[in-house]
Amino acid sequence: MKLELEVLNGSRKGQRVSLKNGLQIGRKSEPMHWDDPEMSDVHGVFFVDHKKQWNFECLDGSNMRVGSSEVPRASLLLGLVFHIGQTGFKVVERPPLLYENWQEGIKDWLNTHSGRELYSPITFFSHMVQLAFVEGMQFGQFYTLSYGPREIGHNSLDLTIADPSAPPRVAQILQENNHLWIENLCGPIALINGLPFEKQLIKSGDRLSITTNVIELSILK
């Protein structure tokens, strides 16, 4: 069973957090920094023990609240509700994948794409592009792209947005004339830095907003 955390309150209410072994959380932890005055700078760490059980352990004398008890460590069992600082979390099951295996995904993709699209020319980018989820259920995840064009969307077989409220085709990352561009594929639903766009040059720090998700774009040099 794959587990993740659902945020129960605050500005990130409803967001889901993917668990990674060694992931830290706190006011100054990266990428899991939290605007919570009752969290320590590095409040604690998520890890898998020898029984392959997820745990959270507090650091530097901090505690977490489970029910009415303050404890330094807890096993993350399905359905557990706990608080780190003022922020509540619930251990939930990760939604199942859209396809049982990659062969089924490829078969569906081939049935829904034209032959012209199958043979789109591939260009190796002059610089790699990183897409980092800074808000939304995939917070902390990122994609690093070295060639294109690449397409992002809900359950895309290329770059997927797990949020089912996102369109299946959101945007395309491509290179033309040695410049890197992002092209809108879903109209006014997608915004760059809070503004509508059709196609524009990518600058490090640009933020692509789509429903409740925010993705920061960076050009790696």
Sequence-separated (6 or more) residues with CB below 8 Å from residue 140: 17, 18, 20, 23, 31, 32, 133
Say if CB 56 and CB 46 are below 8 A apart. Answer: yes
The values of phi and psi at residue 111, to 5°, are -75, -20
pLDDT mean for each 10 residues of the chain (221 residues): 86 85 88 86 92 92 92 94 94 73 62 54 88 90 91 90 90 93 94 94 95 93 80
Please report, to the nearest 10 degrees, the dihedral formed by the alpha carbons of residues 73, 74, 80, 84 taken in order.
10
User: 6 — alpha (psi -120 to 50), left (phi > 0) or beta?
Assistant: beta
Q: Would you list the DSSP string of 64-116?
A: EEETTEEESEEE--TT-EEEETTEEEEEEEPPPPSSSSHHHHHHHHHHHS-HH
Sequence-separated (6 or more) residues with CB below 8 Å from residue 150: 158, 159, 172, 173, 174
Identify any residues that bridge with 83 across adjacent strands, giving them in sequence order: 65, 88
Say if CB 60 and CB 42 are below 8 A apart. Answer: yes
Tokens 């592009």 map to which residue? 129
Task: Give me the count of residues in the chain.
Answer: 221
CB atoms near residue 188 (< 10 Å): 8
H-helix or E-strand spanning residue 118: helix 115-118
Tokens for 91?
A: 């251990």
